[in-house]
Amino acid sequence: MPRIVTRTIAFAVLATLPFAALSSAQAKPAVEVAFVLDTTGSMGGLIEGAKRKIWSIATAIVDSNPDADIRMGLVAYRDIGDEYVTKKYELTTDIQDLYANLLELKARGGGDWAESVNEALDTAVNKMKWTEGGDVHRIVFLVGDAPPHMDYAQDTKYPVTLKVAKQKDIIVNAVLAGNAQDTARVWQDIAQNGNGRFIPIPQDGGQVVVIETPYDEDIIILQREINETVIPYGPRALQRRTEEKTKQLSQVAAAAPSQASEMASYLNKRAKVNSEAVTGDGDLVADLNAGRTSFSAIKDDDLPANLRAMKPEERTAEINRQTATRKALNEKLAALVAKRDKYVAEARSKAPPKASSFDRVVEDTLRAQLKR
């Protein structure tokens, strides 16, 4: 029997490294998803849920668009008088960096009822670096339980922002946590005028089903071995950040093996497209193989110590060795990930129906909207 662990958690999401706006000449398709998340005190369950399920949401995007560049971002919002009004985490391909930022978010503040929803939506639509033109899906999920302050004269009100979103071909969905009727009316208006969905869920985000599989442990072991093929390069700060990413999987696995398995599954599916073992920049093996850099373009000071000590032909041989090792390990991992996917799908089909949960409604909405 599948081992299914049910936890009542809620969700919020989020995203990553700074990413310059790309032109319509970009060849590859892209999927860009930004979450606009209320982080006041009443949203604690959702935020904790996001920390658990971001990888399953990212994987749902990959499964629907395996060849696309995937960028995720987050706008956290509270209200005037709180620690912050908005915090923007730019759209990025570095989902691990987004995940690290998400872990730092706490649910606090929000003394009165209404919140700075208008400013948060304006930040997401007008201040994030969305890719222009081309084959791009642009999707926003507004997630909160309280209506906007319509009395803040300095704010761009949401009807104006939604007109800009329509011009930019950005879909705006509205996820309502709880059942406040005044919020529901506004959220329905936002979804209708944002060409998106109005999605009511329980205040705590609903019951998120965590499915542990017999393949999780072996998947984690293989991803750890793949992480050993990473060669950090660039400025010292970037090298340290890349090294931290190789350790992130083990840190997650210690607390939540199924979540670490989801992370490894995402990385494996992306590796078929971009050769990455970690998300974002800083891995020499991935960047050389993808043609994003060359040895001639890299200063010796930006190489790790072991490569600096090598002759040019030895450096090439080392890259080839790590590339071959990574390729063989990823092939083994892909077979396990396919078995895990099948196991999870069968377990979900046999599980009794539950009330809507944040992760499932987001995944279902993404699958539908990415087909448009």
- Give the per-residue pLDDT at 285: 95
Do the beta carbons of residue 280 and residue 96 sit within 8 Å?
yes
Task: Judge if 201 and 246 occupy the same domain.
Answer: no
Task: Judge if 227 and 333 occupy the same domain.
Answer: yes
Q: Write the CA distances from 67 to 27, 191, 210, 271, integer angstroms.
A: 11, 28, 27, 11
Distance, CA of 341 to chain centre: 19
| 336 inside domain | yes
Distance, CA of 273 to chain centre: 17
Task: Judge if 184 and 248 occupy the same domain.
Answer: no
| 143 inside domain | yes
- Give the per-residue pLDDT at 14: 31
| Cβ atoms within 10 Å, residue 85 | 18
Q: Write the CA distances from 131 to 18, 46, 135, integer angstroms.
A: 13, 28, 9
What total of structural domains would you count in the chain? Answer: 2
Per-residue tens of pLDDT for the chain, all 372 residues = 444 444 333 333 333 333 333 333 345 899 999 999 999 998 988 888 888 889 999 999 999 999 999 999 999 999 999 999 999 999 999 999 999 999 999 999 877 889 999 999 999 999 999 999 889 999 999 999 999 999 999 999 999 999 999 999 999 999 999 899 999 999 999 999 999 999 999 887 777 778 899 999 999 999 999 999 999 999 999 999 999 999 999 999 998 899 999 999 999 999 988 889 999 999 999 999 888 999 889 999 999 999 999 999 999 999 999 999 999 999 999 999 999 999 999 998 887 766 678 888 999 999 999 987
Task: Judge if 14 and 113 occupy the same domain.
Answer: yes
Task: Judge if 68 and 147 occupy the same domain.
Answer: yes
Task: Judge if 81 and 189 occupy the same domain.
Answer: yes
Task: Judge if 119 and 172 occupy the same domain.
Answer: yes
Task: Judge if 45 and 147 occupy the same domain.
Answer: yes
| 133 inside domain | yes
Burial of 195 (0-12, 13-18, 19+ CB in 10 A): middle
Judged by DSSP in three states, 265 sits in helix
- Give the per-residue pLDDT at 6: 41
C-alpha 65/C-alpha 366 separation (Å) is: 11
| 270 inside domain | yes
Task: Judge if 334 and 365 occupy the same domain.
Answer: no
Domain enclosing residue 128, as ranges: 8-206+354-369
Task: Judge if 215 and 301 occupy the same domain.
Answer: yes
Q: Write the CA distances from 371 to 38, 102, 166, 197, 359, integer angstroms.
A: 28, 28, 18, 15, 19
C-alpha 367/C-alpha 108 separation (Å) is: 32
Q: Write the CA distances from 292 to 16, 135, 202, 275, integer angstroms.
A: 19, 21, 45, 11
| 1 inside domain | no
Task: Judge if 195 and 339 occupy the same domain.
Answer: no
| 52 inside domain | yes
Do the beta carbons of residue 290 and residue 282 sit within 8 Å?
no
- Give the per-residue pLDDT at 109: 85
